[in-house]
Structure 1
Amino acid sequence: MKLPVAAVIFDMDGTLFDTEIVYYRAFQSALAQQNYDLTKETYFSQLAGTTNENIEQFLTRTLNAKFDCQQFSRDWPQFLQQFTLDDGIPFMPHIPHVLELLHKRDIPMAIASSSYLTDILDFTKRTGIHHYFQAVAAGDQVTSGKPSPDIYLLAAERLKVAPEACLAIEDSNHGVAAAHAAGMQVIMTANRIPPNAHSNKVSHISNNLTSSLTRLL
Structure 2
Amino acid sequence: MPLKAVLFDMDGVIVDTEPLHRKAYFKTFDELEIVVSEELYTSFTGASTKRVSETLINEFNLDQTYEAIAGIKRSHFKDYFYNDDEFDLIPGVRKLIEHYHENGVKLILASSATMVTINMVFEKFGLEQYFSGKISGADLKESKPHPEVFLLAAEMAGEPVENCMVIEDSTNGILAAHRAKIFCAAYRSPHSKNQDYTLADTVVSDYEDLELDKISKYF
Partner residue of 2:145? 147
Partner residue of 2:215? 216
Question: How many residue pairs get matched?
Answer: 209
Structure 1 segment 34-183 matched on structure 2, within 5 A:
34=32, 35-37=34-36, 39=38, 43=42, 47-48=45-46, 52=48, 56-57=50-51, 60=54, 64=58, 66=60, 69-87=66-84, 89-183=87-181
Question: What TM-score comes out, normalization by structure 1 length?
Answer: 0.82
Q: Which stretch shows the higher mean deviation, 163-172 or 31-40? A: 31-40
Q: C-alpha separation between the residues in 2 aligned to 1:113 and 1:121?
A: 11
Q: CA deviation at 1:57?
A: 3.8
Q: Which stretch shows the higher mean deviation, 148-157 or 112-121? A: 148-157
Q: CA deviation at 1:58?
A: 6.4
Long gaps (5+) in structure 2: none
Q: C-alpha separation between the residues in 2 aligned to 1:78 and 1:17?
A: 19
SS at match of 1:201: coil
SS at match of 2:104: coil
Long gaps (5+) in structure 1: none
How has the CA–CA distance of structure 1 residues 177 and 36 changed in structure 2, closer, same or farther, with 3 Å as cutoff?
Answer: farther
Higher Rg = 2
Q: C-alpha separation between the residues in 2 aligned to 1:40 and 1:206?
A: 30
Question: What TM-score comes out, normalization by structure 2 length?
Answer: 0.81
Q: C-alpha separation between the residues in 2 aligned to 1:59 and 1:177?
A: 28
Identity of aligned residues (%): 22
Q: C-alpha separation between the residues in 2 aligned to 1:190 and 1:101?
A: 20
> After superposition, what is the alpha-carbon deviation per residue over 1:101-140, rounded to whole angstroms, capped at 9, x for unaligned?
1011100001111111122112112211111000100133
